[in-house]
Structure 1
Amino acid sequence: MNVNPVSTGSDPGLRFFKSSYSDGAGNNCVEVALARQVHIRDSKDKTRPYVQMQPATWSSFVTWV
């Protein structure tokens, strides 16, 4: 699996989206940004590094989940 941690500051142009299944306060969820790679971060702490992976890896993960 090709998963690489990267700094949130490395690509400020990313637009993250939160799942509609997030709790009522909008917390306790992951956010995803789609670009050449799929970027995933914790919605509770956006300053921490996020993970990026190839779209095919993300697709396999979502299918598995």
Structure 2
Amino acid sequence: MAAVADRDFVVEALQWSATLVQHILRGTEDLILYSTAKFAFIRLADAYSTGGSLMPQRRNLTP
């Protein structure tokens, strides 16, 4: 029992980190959805994106 109880903090840390990542991913999924043409709630400024060379109407994110 003592050997298993000593590792409980690792399981709890992994569980909390997985939950945190899941919430972050849900938020980013909402941002992607809201920036589509269907909703158009969010628009990325042209300073943060560039046009593609083959498809100039497509915007690529710059790092």
With the shorter chain as reference, the TM-score category is under 0.3
Which is helix-richer, 1 or 2?
2
Q: From the CA coordinates, give the structure whose radius of gyration is larger.
A: 2
Relative to the length of structure 2, the TM-score reads 0.22
TM, length-normalised to structure 1: 0.21
Higher RCO by CA contacts (8 Å cutoff, separation 6 or greater):
1
